[in-house]
């Protein structure tokens, strides 16, 4: 099928009876204009790709744009390990640490400008954050909406009589609609300052598509679609994961493939697993990667209870998607540890136990509103290493570090592409000062540093040093093995509830690696399916092995 015909079919799915042939003409005209720009090639994903999740201003130096400082830090301390850098929203904003964007086309002046992005992209592949679902109430678009300017009068969704919002799924307890100056109302999924864009209005979709292509052209080899599941609203529905939303992502993929092959779309939908993987579409027509949101809470549950049964059972359901789509795996991020992805996997008692542990370890729990008016835990807000600690057991720093490395050995073994949050890489702790001064739960894991201080810490803090060097060594080891290709096969090996184990195999290279991890704090004996060389220790391994607490092995056949 020709590209124009694919565009037309997708626009018909999106707009139904409202579709106009001018919509297709406008999209084709936009794409033709972008075809005249210079486009750089992007290499496909491999086992070497490892993402660093970070804000553009996490490390500061006096008088320097923070993007330049971050680029320098990675070049000096992690250039051999990090290939891709996920820059969380780098645009002017008014709240939510960047996720309330004022202008999608400008770089926040504290971070630098587009020339700093271009320099950064010459050293690393970059993931840009596209906060397409909503934007700041201070934006030109929304201010135009409030003033009744013709260009923006339909860019947002006002409260209408007869619209049935009773089934709307919410990630927040704040009102669904807010009233603004002049009595105008607008749909606000996340907060009063974050106003949802109305994609039913075709000019809004066209403008957002142009912004997406601008990102891809200016160094974005990956585009993260933030909170994408909420972007279409229909009366009487849940207003999440609607068919029109999927069709918009498919349209964007078609356009990107027409312009710049191997530019990746990553969907961020913090929801139960089955809903999450629906964004793969047919495996070749929608997201290139979806966030593996079930992994962080399940690894935490496993290493808290010393029981890998739930992780093993869930992992058995993870299969290869296609040769062009895979999973975006992570344990920690700028947000908390999502609890909705454990629905149907962990029991309510198990979920409650994790929440209680997080509170005991100094963290916080955020809640969401349910359609029946009740509230339930939405996410756990805590530094991931602090979340892992069992206070009565993991009493030594060495044990805590080993547990952190064990958790990440799972991250680096499972099918997909791994992403490491900057506080995990740096072995950080809960930031109580940031939490208390802001009153924002997520700030507990968003601390920022002065360049000289963090460099000195990596030399003097044993916790930081051990985690930093250990994770970098894990990454380097993984990157040498084609069995860890994002598209290599995965089979789960059930070796008992205290062990999580799997086999990764690259059929093209006939490269096979067995992963085994002791999830308990006890010495255990394990009968393996085969022996070989442990890539982590360099030792030869027989079929029967003794594993110390939280020990892991990568055994190459």
Q: Which residue in the list 84, 116, 196, 226 is annotated as catalytic?
A: 226
Longest dimension (CA), the chain: 75
Distance CA 1, CA 539 (A): 54
Distance CA 257, CA 410 (A): 32
Long-range contacts of 146-152 (CB under 8 A, 24+ apart): 146/180, 146/181, 146/182, 146/184, 151/203
Q: Which residues pair with 541 in a beta bridge?
A: 532
DSSP state of 98: G
226 labelled catalytic: yes
What is the pairing mode between strands 417-421 and 51-54?
parallel
Q: For the residues of 302-360, what is the DSSP string, one character each? A: HHHHT--HHHHHHHTT-----SS-EEEEES--SS-EESGGGBTTB-HHHHHHHHHHHHH
- Assess contact for 555 and 542: CB atoms under 8 A: no
Distance CA 240, CA 224 (A): 18
Distance CA 198, CA 385 (A): 39
Q: For the residues of 486-512, what is the DSSP string, one character each? A: TTSEEEEE---TTEEEEEEEETTTTEE
Distance CA 407, CA 495 (A): 18
Q: Beta-carbon neighbour count of residue 258 at 10 Å? A: 16
Using alpha carbons only, how large is the chain's radius of gyration in Å? 23
276: left (phi over 0), alpha (psi -120 to 50) or beta: alpha
- Assess contact for 211 and 130: CB atoms under 8 A: yes
Distances in whole angstroms, Cα of residue 523 to Cα of each of 310, 498, 538, 551: 21, 10, 20, 9
| Active site residue ranges | 226
């Amino acid at each position: 099928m020709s590209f124009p015909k694919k565009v037309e079919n997708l626009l018909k799915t999106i707009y139904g009876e409202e579709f106009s042939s001018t919509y297709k003409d406008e999209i084709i005209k936009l794409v033709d204009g972008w075809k005249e720009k210079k486009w750089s090639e992007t290499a496909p994903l491999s086992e070497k790709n490892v993402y660093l999740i970070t804000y553009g201003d996490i490390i500061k130096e006096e008088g320097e744009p923070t993007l330049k400082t971050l680029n320098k830090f990675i070049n000096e301390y992690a250039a051999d390990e990090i290939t891709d850098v996920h820059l969380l929203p780098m645009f002017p904003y008014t709240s939510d640490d960047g996720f309330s964007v004022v202008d999608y086309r400008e770089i926040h002046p504290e971070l630098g400008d587009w020339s700093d992005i271009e320099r950064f992209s010459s050293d690393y592949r970059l993931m840009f954050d596209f906060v397409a679902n909503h934007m700041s109430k201070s934006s030109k678009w929304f201010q135009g909406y409030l003033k009744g300017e013709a260009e923006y009068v339909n860019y947002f969704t006002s409260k209408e009589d007869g619209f049935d919002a009773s089934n709307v799924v919410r990630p927040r307890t704040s009102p669904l609609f807010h009233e603004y100056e002049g009595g105008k109302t607008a749909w606000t999924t996340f907060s009063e300052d974050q106003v949802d864009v109305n994609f039913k209005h075709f000019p809004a979709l066209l403008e957002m598509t142009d912004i997406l292509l601008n990102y891809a052209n200016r160094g974005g080899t990956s585009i993260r679609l933030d909170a994408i599941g909420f972007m279409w609203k229909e009366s009487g529905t849940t207003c999440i994961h609607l068919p029109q939303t999927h069709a918009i992502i498919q349209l964007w993929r078609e356009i990107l493939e027409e312009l710049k092959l191997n530019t990746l779309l990553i969907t961020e939908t913090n929801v139960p697993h089955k809903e999450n993987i629906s964004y793969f579409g047919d495996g070749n027509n929608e997201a290139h990667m979806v966030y593996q949101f079930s992994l962080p809470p399940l690894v935490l549950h496993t290493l808290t209870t010393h029981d890998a049964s739930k992780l093993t059972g869930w992992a058995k359901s993870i299969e290869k998607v296609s040769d062009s789509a895979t999973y975006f795996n992570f344990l920690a991020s700028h947000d908390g540890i999502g609890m909705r992805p454990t629905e149907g996997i962990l029991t309510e008692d198990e979920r409650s136990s994790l929440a209680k542990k997080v509170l005991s370890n100094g963290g916080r729990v955020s809640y969401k509103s349910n359609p029946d008016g009740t509230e339930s835990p939405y996410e756990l807000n805590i530094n991931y290493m602090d979340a892992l600690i069992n206070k009565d057991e993991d009493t030594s720093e060495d044990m805590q570090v080993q547990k952190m490395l064990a958790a990440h050995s799972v991250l680096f073994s499972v099918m997909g592409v791994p992403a490491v949050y900057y506080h995990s890489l740096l072995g950080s702790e809960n930031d109580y000062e940031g939490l208390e001064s802001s009153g924002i739960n997520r700030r507990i894991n968003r601390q920022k540093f002065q360049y000289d201080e963090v460099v000195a810490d990596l030399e003097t803090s044993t916790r930081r040093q051990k985690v930093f060097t250990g994770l970098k060594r894990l990454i380097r080891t993984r990157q040498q093995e084609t069995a860890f290709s994002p598209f290599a096969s995965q089979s789960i090996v059930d070796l008992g509830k205290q062990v999580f184990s799997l086999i990764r195999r690259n059929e093209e290279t006939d490269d096979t690696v067995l992963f085994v991890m002791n999830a308990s704090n006890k010495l255990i004996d394990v009968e393996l399916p085969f022996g070989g060389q442990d890539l982590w220790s360099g030792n030869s391994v027989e079929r029967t092995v003794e594993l110390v607490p939280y020990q892991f092995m990568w055994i190459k056949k």
